[in-house]
Structure 1
Amino acid sequence: MQKSEKSCDSSCRRLAGIGSLLVGAAALPALLLAPSVIAQEQEKSVSRTGVAAAADDPIASPSPPPPEADLPEVEPIIADDEFEKAIPPISAEEDPELDRPLESIAEVERRQAADAARRGNQDGDEAETAGGAATPAVDGGPVPALADGDSVEAIGDAPISDIELAALLPPLDNFDVEPVEFAEAEEEDDGRELAYQVRVNGLDAADDGTSVDLADMFGDLSALYDGDGKADNAAMIRARLSADGELMQRILASEGYYDAVVETRIERGPREEGQDRGSRPITAIIDVTPGQRYTLSDIVIDAAPTIPPRLIADNFPLSVGEPIVAQRIQGAEAAIALKLPEEGYPFAQVGQRDVLLDPATGEGVYTLPVDIGKRSRFGGIETTGDLAFDADHVAVLARFKRGDLYDSRKVDDLRQALVATGLFSTVAAEPQPTGESAGDGTEYVTMLVTQQAGPPRTIAASAGYGTGEGLRVEGSWTHRNMFPPEGALTFRGVIGTQEQGIGATLRRSNAGRRDRTLELVAEAKRSNYEAFEALTGRVGARISYDSTPIWQKKFTYAYGVELIATREDDYDFATGERSFDFYTILGLSGQVGIDRTDNLLDPTKGFRITSLIQPEGSLSGRFSPYARLRTDISGYYPMTDSIVLAGRVRFGSILGAARERLAPSRRFYAGGGGSVRGFGYQELGPKDPNNDPIGGRSVNEVAVEARYRFGDFGVVGFVDAGQVYRSSAPTFQDLRFGAGIGARYYTNFGPMRFDIATPIARKPGEARVSVYVSIGQAF
């Protein structure tokens, strides 16, 4: 601040806010009533009291002072007797004329007429002598005149001094009115739009290459440019020009040009021959004189010491010598307001900036007060409001524990996790000071979570279509907090052309750990595909640790157990016909995943690897164990900002059992919207003599996509390949290819997909075109 005092005098200005100047308020002088004015007001007050009041109390007097007042005696200005003599008579005894009856209006008019006639005779004699003309008479008598010589204008039967006034008015047809001719004809408002152009002069002088393009900024916000060069009338053009003049002033001030001068005007071009005035070209002109650009000569941060010592300085991006740009200053202040709570200062407050400008040097001293508050650590968790669950379950969602240094990012994460439960209409998490010391110069803060439980029930539906799968519609009803905390019960049903089913799921989210889920499932369904027909019941339990839209995890896992009872048909090569068999299967499952992509629902870069192992055994007859293995790998590479190259490979194998010992639904198949597009669902692989797929013990698939996105829409070109084999290991022979194109519509819950594909080297019985409609990318 010493620097500013040294280089600045009384001509300096302070900025209350970036882009505007403080204007000092001038003191308003008090207005004093002059004695004459006071006297007039008193006289008006006396006149309003009325005659009756004056009669009762001839001399008005003010209210007497209080008894205890000790006032000096004052000599009267005028004696009472003298004052009473000066008052005019106001009673009949004093003035008999007051009792005389009033004259009628007719008597007054006759008396006034007689007086006027006498004066008129005298004046007429004098006028005749001087001017040689006599005063005209009315009704045989002379014209009455006033004392100043003017004739009297009679009312009713009174004399009329002007003979013309007594004459009859001429008919309107005799009037010949000449229209007024103007130097330039007025424009007719015929509802025609006016075209105009916009010209900005002098703005280039403010473009030093170190800031934003001022012309572009003005063009984006301008009312004149927004009108596309058309207006209903000239008044609209002037209004837009006035608004744009103020806009230009604000833009220049926001870039440090506080002395800028902006003038506006409208010019009309010359009128060509045969052209009406309304067609003359109009140009709205803004003349700009930017003036000097103010720069920072000093930066003063008024704050207490922090830990680490340079916490504010290292995160404050302004520097001495740079222009005073509003966006830069507001961004620097926001950076401090965000950084301090991330480093243990939850109650930090950024005060009101002060910028002192010196017009003589074009420099400004920037001062920012910052109250850092008490450095704090996380303490306990409390909750209030209409609760969906208690504070203990809130602690399960939190990624901090007691004693951790306060970090606002972890508080934001907790708030997002609470919102993601879907159980609240509103929820907030805020630190509360406790005054309890946590050592190391810090104190504990309590996280207060304010809950407002929302409707816990949800009804949902989805639909899809795929060649070979047919139409499939699924609906569900869910109570998300049937068994608090976060114990959801879901009933669902599936109706489709080739699949029908019902099921129930009990799902405990964040079960003892954040993002860990426990599921209990029971379902029954009927399937009727070309590969098999089945009636299946299944119960199972599964624990998973999965990625969520809030926290996409690099490592995920799942494990579980299931019991399947199913009646399915299969082709018997010995008898040459299809027959039903009953299978009872007990299985375990384990899955691990690695995710290095940038987005859970629509990745554009990175890779994913998922491996699944399912040890199973048939309980029908003698126990026959086997293992199903499958690995999926996908990668994503951004070619440009709008084009992504994506690829996927899949390998699968069943070890330990012959194909005939496997239930048809537990074998591998390929083909369809999530497999090899261009082919029907489960169409690839070994087939029976009726050309129906019978599945295999190994599979391999590969797919390549080029995804082009523009706004909320996208186009995808793809090529898929794959095959299913009888052996337990894929041989990579006899691969089948499909190619196609797809459309995408991107929503906040993922892209909607429409793909159409055709098989390459199509064989008899295969469809020429296959269509797939669903939610989400193919992979």
Structure 2
Amino acid sequence: MDKPGTAPAKGPSAPRPEDRPAATQSSDPRGDAPIVPEAEFDSALPPLSGDLNAPLEAMPSAAASTAPAVTAPTATQSATTATGDVLPPTGPQDPQLAQPLTPLASYDTVPFETAADIKDKDAPEIRYDSAIVGLDKAGDGLEARYKALSALRDGKGKAANATQVSARAKEDEALAVRLLKSLGYYDATAVSTIETIPGTPAKLKATVSAQPGRLYTLSSVTVVADATTPPNLVRDQLPLKVGDAIEAERIQGSEANVSLVLPQRGYPFVKVGERDILLDDQTPTGAYTLPVDIGPRASFGQLRTEGDPVFDLEHLNVFPRFKGGELYDNRLADDLRNALVGTSLFQTVSVEPVRTGQVNADGTEAVDLLVRQTKGPARTLAGNAGYSTGQGIRAEATWTHRNLFPPEGALIGSVIAGTQEQGASATFRRANAGKRDRTFNVIASANHSNYDAYTAFTGTLGVRWSYDSTPIWQKRLTYYYGGELVGTNESVYDFAQGRNVRRTYGIVALPGQVLFDRSDSLLNPARGYRLRLNVSPETSVQGSVSPYVRAQVEGTVYYPVSTSLVIAGRARAATIQGIARDDLAPSRRLYGGGGGSVRGYGYQRLGPFDPNGDPIGGRSLNEFALEARYRFGDFGIVPFVDAGNSYSSTTPNLSALKIGAGIGGRFYTNFGPLRFDVATPLNPRKGDGKVALYISIGQAF
């Protein structure tokens, strides 16, 4: 075996030649004599000046160089002598070296083909299976999260080559370790293996094996913050305790809870700092510390505004649900912003707390809310269309200017076109009229309707005050009240004459409604119930004055059997008291049947008939409906059963219920479900169709 070489030793401690073993003594006749004698070496050195700052001496010229070097000739080559820096002549030049280089623009950049290149572009991909082992030791849901993020599973068992499979497996190793550490397993490891499946050499199996290791828990929880009112407010909102696993989601969620709750308890400027967790791998535990800058405890001050003047401060002060001096609650500030967004008059709007430095008597600092406004479009075109058996096709288009008469004074024009109804209307609407969500309307309309029950030309002038629910704030109690002047010319069957005649009616009405709503949604409820009461004292003028009262009560209930199935039910009863049926305008009587009543029967075809077989309406009504609303994704199936009838008497009864059944389809959109219902009457009368179809927007109830 070779040994490292050593330089010959010098000095008094060097071994003497006679002390060396014979085998190690050199056969060189010069022995250890120096190659160049020291005296000759020293004489060749240039003289040195004692002045360190003296300039360097000039280099000797080529002519003053030392003796020429001599190269000993080899057996096949004669000796050649070179003097100075002159090189010996070269051999014949290669002619190709003298040619100019090929221009880059014309250079062939196609790489050389190698034996490893794939000749067939349609060559089959490598197939592989993947598996994860060991994650189930850390929790039931961890394996599912791994599979959702796995690079191997994302490849769907296909790869270009084995190297790609290996790279994906390495990614999944890191994924498994990251997931385990997120649950507190900071000693976690993972390793992947790639092997051929026995019997199928063209298929691989990639297995990622994870070892969770020890679970780290919290040894202490420390909050660094100033004193709060009430005491320990920050610590109480941080749901962490000693012994909890150091789980990333739980810790982040706890810190988010501090950021969420403190602005609701009077601290709008709270800032949660960077956490520190000091791990001890001997225990294994971690000491958790969270710095929190709580800022001043605050109360509501005043509103400020800047930007485009959509609303002035006077109208802005209609929207808040808080008063100055109340303890600050971020939810009320968010509610103010949502209410402004709900007017649909802003392109952008924000509400931000602003410090004033003014300290109240209770020690809180008054905080103003700055409303930044950017004006948006105020005009809207909208439309809807539907079809139902008995009513035919009905389409409505509306044009709205929501701020033609500021603030929030809207003008709405509407046109109805249908096979059995045509009309136009104009509405002035003042939203948030002196009070949030209170609306004032003035309505003028002209309408022509042509149904089996009656043909009418009707003009209406009405006013209404209402307190409404909105998609942003669904209220438990809403109401409306108002007045109407109605003039209508209608066809009516005169039993005394035995034929249809036309009569003109003048009607004065004071309609009102109260709605108690405990459902979970305005457009598509799945839980809760609603109770509705309508009362309208009216006077009919047709030759004589005939006062009467129309009243209706309705209840709906929604029960979720599962996340996909909701059972919905409805019951309705109505009555008209104080007037004979034949003294009522046909359009003010009670009818049953149709898409919003008892499906399967024609529109308004439930109740008594005249000798011509046309419905004439009644003075009382009852209806019942039951639906099973099954939803899958954006679609749904709704089997249903309806029942009801209209009666000549003022009191409804259950003796002559007509029943319809059917099935519907739903397509759910962000503005409500599209409804397609097909129904058939189960106990039809002469003239009733076998199938009825209804297409509209929204649930039946």
The answer, yes or no, to whether TM exceeds 0.5 is: yes
Mapped to 1, the partners of 2:340 and 2:131 lie a distance apart of 54
Residue of structure 2 equivalent to 1:12: none
- 2:538 alignment partner, SS class: strand
Mapped to 2, the partners of 1:293 and 1:629 lie a distance apart of 68
Higher helix residue share: 1
Gaps of at least 5 residues in structure 2 are 1-48, 83-87, 96-114
- 2:333 alignment partner, SS class: helix
| 2:211 is aligned with 1:236 | no
State TM-score, norm by structure 2.
Answer: 0.85
Residue of structure 1 equivalent to 2:131: 199
Residue of structure 2 equivalent to 1:705: 627
**Candidates 144, 148, 155, aligned match of 2:92:** 155
1:415-447 C-alpha deviation (Å, 9 max, x unpaired): 111111111111110100001112221011000
Mapped to 2, the partners of 1:313 and 1:157 lie a distance apart of 87
Residue of structure 2 equivalent to 1:268: 196
| 2:284 is aligned with 1:362 | yes
1:340-362 C-alpha deviation (Å, 9 max, x unpaired): 00000011110110111111211
Q: What's the CA shift for 1:96?
A: 13
- 2:339 alignment partner, SS class: helix
2:126–2:202 contact (8 Å) kept in structure 1: no
Residue of structure 1 equivalent to 2:100: none
Q: 1:200 to 1:730 in 2, by over 3 A?
A: closer
1:272-329 C-alpha deviation (Å, 9 max, x unpaired): 5xx8xxx522122223232222110000001111111132222211110111000000
1:91-490 equivalence runs, <5 A: 154-155=91-92, 190-204=122-136, 206-207=137-138, 209=139, 213-269=141-197, 279-490=201-412
Residue of structure 2 equivalent to 1:76: 51
1:570-649 equivalence runs, <5 A: 570-649=492-571
Residue of structure 1 equivalent to 2:607: 685
1:626-652 C-alpha deviation (Å, 9 max, x unpaired): 111111111122223322221111111
Mapped to 2, the partners of 1:186 and 1:544 lie a distance apart of 76
Q: Which amino acid in the other structure matches residue 465 of structure 1? A: Y
1:687–1:694 contact (8 Å) kept in structure 2: yes
Residue of structure 1 equivalent to 2:578: 656
Which deviates more from structure 2 when the two are superposed, residues 349-358 or residues 286-295?
Answer: 286-295
Residue of structure 2 equivalent to 1:541: 463
Mapped to 1, the partners of 2:261 and 2:246 lie a distance apart of 22
1:722–1:736 contact (8 Å) kept in structure 2: yes
Q: What's the CA shift for 1:609?
A: 1.1
Mapped to 2, the partners of 1:703 and 1:89 lie a distance apart of 118
Residue of structure 1 equivalent to 2:641: 719
**Candidates 551, 557, 574, aligned match of 2:473:** 551
Mapped to 2, the partners of 1:372 and 1:307 lie a distance apart of 11
1:144–1:152 contact (8 Å) kept in structure 2: no
1:146–1:152 contact (8 Å) kept in structure 2: no
1:48-68 C-alpha deviation (Å, 9 max, x unpaired): xxxxxxxxxxxxxxxxxxxxx
**Candidates 482, 491, 494, aligned match of 1:560:** 482
Q: What's the CA shift for 1:534?
A: 0.6
Q: What's the CA shift for 1:239?
A: 3.0
Q: What's the CA shift for 1:253?
A: 1.5
**Candidates 423, 432, 445, aligned match of 1:523:** 445
Q: 1:356 to 1:694 in 2, by over 3 A?
A: same
Q: Which amino acid in the other structure matches residue 276 of structure 2? A: D
Mapped to 1, the partners of 2:408 and 2:64 lie a distance apart of 108
**Candidates 750, 759, 768, aligned match of 2:681:** 759
1:201-234 C-alpha deviation (Å, 9 max, x unpaired): 3434x42x5xx52211111111111222122333
Q: What's the CA shift for 1:587?
A: 1.1
State TM-score, norm by structure 1.
Answer: 0.76
Q: What's the CA shift for 1:763?
A: 2.2
- Count of matched residue pairs: 627
Q: What's the CA shift for 1:79?
A: 5.2
1:191–1:232 contact (8 Å) kept in structure 2: no
- 2:411 alignment partner, SS class: strand
Q: Which amino acid in the other structure matches residue 385 of structure 1? A: G
1:493–1:501 contact (8 Å) kept in structure 2: yes
Q: Which amino acid in the other structure matches residue 257 of structure 1? A: Y
1:503-524 C-alpha deviation (Å, 9 max, x unpaired): 0111111111111111100010
Mapped to 2, the partners of 1:444 and 1:568 lie a distance apart of 64
Mapped to 2, the partners of 1:287 and 1:232 lie a distance apart of 24
1:60-85 C-alpha deviation (Å, 9 max, x unpaired): xxxxxxxxxxxxxx9832756xx66x
Residue of structure 1 equivalent to 2:111: none
1:651–1:701 contact (8 Å) kept in structure 2: yes
Mapped to 1, the partners of 2:452 and 2:353 lie a distance apart of 61
Mapped to 2, the partners of 1:379 and 1:123 lie a distance apart of 106
- 1:772 alignment partner, SS class: strand
1:667–1:697 contact (8 Å) kept in structure 2: yes
Residue of structure 1 equivalent to 2:670: 748
Mapped to 1, the partners of 2:563 and 2:94 lie a distance apart of 100
Q: Which amino acid in the other structure matches residue 577 of structure 1? A: R
Mapped to 2, the partners of 1:152 and 1:397 lie a distance apart of 101
1:504-557 C-alpha deviation (Å, 9 max, x unpaired): 111111111111111100010110001000111101000011211111111111
2:414–2:426 contact (8 Å) kept in structure 1: yes
Q: Which amino acid in the other structure matches residue 171 of structure 2? A: A
Q: 1:688 to 1:321 in 2, by over 3 A?
A: same
Q: 1:644 to 1:79 in 2, by over 3 A?
A: closer
Residue of structure 2 equivalent to 1:52: none
Percentage identity across paired residues of the two chains: 52
Q: Which amino acid in the other structure matches residue 92 of structure 2? A: I
- 1:397 alignment partner, SS class: coil
Q: What's the CA shift for 1:145?
A: 6.8
Q: Which amino acid in the other structure matches residue 604 of structure 2? A: Q
Q: 1:185 to 1:447 in 2, by over 3 A?
A: closer
1:713-759 C-alpha deviation (Å, 9 max, x unpaired): 21111111111111112133211110111111222222111111000
Mapped to 1, the partners of 2:612 and 2:530 lie a distance apart of 39
Mapped to 2, the partners of 1:147 and 1:75 lie a distance apart of 40
Which deviates more from structure 2 when the two are superposed, residues 758-767 or residues 563-572?
Answer: 758-767
Gaps of at least 5 residues in structure 1 are 1-73, 98-118, 128-134, 136-142, 159-181
Q: What's the CA shift for 1:185?
A: 13
